[in-house]
Amino acid sequence: MKKSIVYLVGAGPGDPGLITIKGLECIKKADVIVYDRLASPRLLTYARPEAELIYVGKSPDRHAMKQHEINQLLVEKAKEGKVVTRLKGGDPFVFGRGGEEAEVLVENGIHYEVVPGITSAVAVPAYAGVPVTHRDATSDFAVITGNEDPAKENSKIYWDKIATGIGTLVFLMGMSNLSKICEKLIQYGRSPSTPVALVRWGTRPEQQTLVGTLQDITEKAKEAEFKNPAVIIVGEVVKLREKLAWFENKKLFGKRVLVTRSREQASVLSQRIEELGGEAYEFPTIQIAEPDTYAPLDAAIDALSSYKWVVFTSVNGVKYFFNRLKKLGKDVRELHGTNICAIGPKTREALESYGLIVDYVPSEYRAEKIIAGLSGRLEPGDRVLLPRADIARKILPQALKEMGAVVDEITAYKTIMGAGDAQQVIEMLTRKELHVLTFTSSSTVRNFVQLLGAANLKELLKDVIVASIGPITSTTARELGIEVTVEAEEYTIDGLVDAVLKAVAERQG
């Protein structure tokens, strides 16, 4: 029987890639996830479909749920026998009130574990190009709450000690007290010319950095309307930003990109986006599933020696074909003497991973080029096997039949509707939080439109870059009323990423 437990998990400062491996495991196995506003929404996509998601968002000036209510919620869910993951921005024990939650759990006899997270006190300065310690600047730093009013009596902050006794000072969530913080530091001996950096929404696409000194940063922040959530960094290390800034220099910095591929396939595109400084938001509009019956594919596999060509049009087709081959107790030797065609480089790589040499890959990765390439290589009566999706275009089998081939078009896998959070996507589009939308197939377009079901879709996508992987996908998009901004020249994921980079550069230029 599964034992109840509460995991107090640090979600990191915002970039979903900064979650720890153990933290991610806790998300994946949770029955209940209790999460804050600073935890990346993308982390919730790793939750089990049946997991209960409870938002208890907290900000300095507004609480969706008070702390004592959150404490009680954790106790109640654990007493129901649930595995509870309490997902908190940054680290749970660095101004995260994780200690208070742990105390309540102990008092109620509830088993719990703490999973530390990467604190914004270190990560946010790093993403702004500011190391909190540096050999030539300082060998110490302090993390201080920015919420406490520096003017109050009986302050728990020893201003007279920290003002000159510590090299780098990092204040968390202190924008409302910025002027008083600066005044206190100057009052107790810190030079007014000491460099200060303010970093808002650090590690996320919205990251903004403002640099000044103790003397002028308050006025600069007022002019720029700089608000929480922000980290305040005080010290000589701020000067290093001019030399060490890296995140904001990436080509896709500031861009949140919607990935509409199936969850199994999304990782490659998401990884490329994040390498370039963007944030990939996965909204799987399609899912890949087993066919309703394997009987036709099994029959084709039993008759493999009779086929002159086997044409693979996707990596999924390769995967499901060879999984079934193995299930039937067979291997690649069944393809002896059969010619192999792959529609693109990734499909070819998938076939080569099984030790096969691909006989033909078209110069353009679509059905029309396969037909042109096989012309002259097929004779009337030659048999061709097409193991592919249930909704694949019919132009390829029809054209091969016109060339005199005997074509067996077999469903190796199904493409079904995805289960992405459509309401969340609509809200993000409304708030202009999505900057690029990617489509990798006609089915991703159709399902995107159907899942959103938005009558004002054109308005929602008004300022969004829409990137298509190729002409067939682009045609589907236009038929459904979506204006395509850019189309990949090479119909691959790398080609799609190049197209996105081109469109972003043109917009910024």
pLDDT of residue 356: 94
Annotated catalytic residue within 31, 36, 91, 408: 36
Q: Is the pLDDT of residue 12 over 50?
A: yes
Residues 17 and 270: their CA atoms lie apart, in Å, by 11
Rounded to a whole number, what is the distance in angstroms from the first to the last CA of the chain? 60
Whether the pLDDT of residue 372 is over 60: the answer is yes
pLDDT tens digit sequence for 431-485: 999 999 999 999 999 999 999 998 899 999 999 999 999 999 999 999 999 999 9
In the chain, which segments carry CATH 3.30.950.10? 122-245
Instruction: Give the C-alpha separation, 23 to 115, whole Å.
Output: 6
Residue-wise pLDDT tens digits, 181-201: 999 999 999 999 999 999 999
Tokens for 294, please give them. Answer: 């394997």
Instruction: Confirm whether 494 is a catalytic residue.
Output: no
The residues near 205 (Cβ < 8 Å, ≥ 6 apart) are 253, 254, 255, 256, 278, 279, 435
Pick the CATH number of 256-285+418-508 from 3.40.50.150, 3.40.50.10090, 2.70.150.10, 3.10.450.50: 3.40.50.10090
What CATH number has the domain spanning 122-245?
3.30.950.10
- Portions of the chain given CATH number 3.40.50.10090: 256-285+418-508, 289-417
Provide the pLDDT confidence category of residue 63 given band limits of 50, 70 and 90.
Answer: low
* pLDDT value, residue 172: 95
The reply to whether 175 belongs to the active site is no
Distance of CA 329 to the CA centre of its chain: 38
At residue 509, does pLDDT exceed 80? no
- Please identify which of the residues 15, 77, 82, 173 carries the catalytic annotation: 173
pLDDT band at 62 (very low <50, low <70, confident <90, very high): low
Adjacent-strand bridge partners of 341: 311, 360
Query: What CA–CA distance (Å, rounded) separates 232 from 181?
Result: 10
Hey, what are 32's tokens? 């209940």
Residue 93 in this model has a pLDDT that exceeds 70: yes
User: Which pLDDT score, from 0 to 100, does residue 176 have?
Assistant: 93
Query: What does the pLDDT read at residue 346?
Result: 87
Q: Is 251 a catalytic residue?
A: no
From CA 30, how far away is CA 476, in angstroms rounded?
39
**pTM of the predicted structure, to 2 decimals:** 0.81
Which among 15, 31, 58, 88 is annotated as catalytic? 58
* Mean pLDDT across the chain: 92
Pick the closest to residue 389 from 321, 338, 302, 469 (CA basis). 321
CA pair distance 56, 371, nearest whole angstrom? 56
Query: What type of residue is 419?
Result: A
Which of 17, 25, 90 is closest to 58 using CA atoms?
90
For domain 289-417, the CATH architecture is: 3-Layer(aba) Sandwich (3.40)
Q: What is the DSSP letter of 419?
A: -
Q: Which fold has domain 5-118?
A: Cobalt-precorrin-4 Transmethylase; domain 1 (3.40.1010)
What mean pLDDT do residues 412-420 have?
Answer: 88
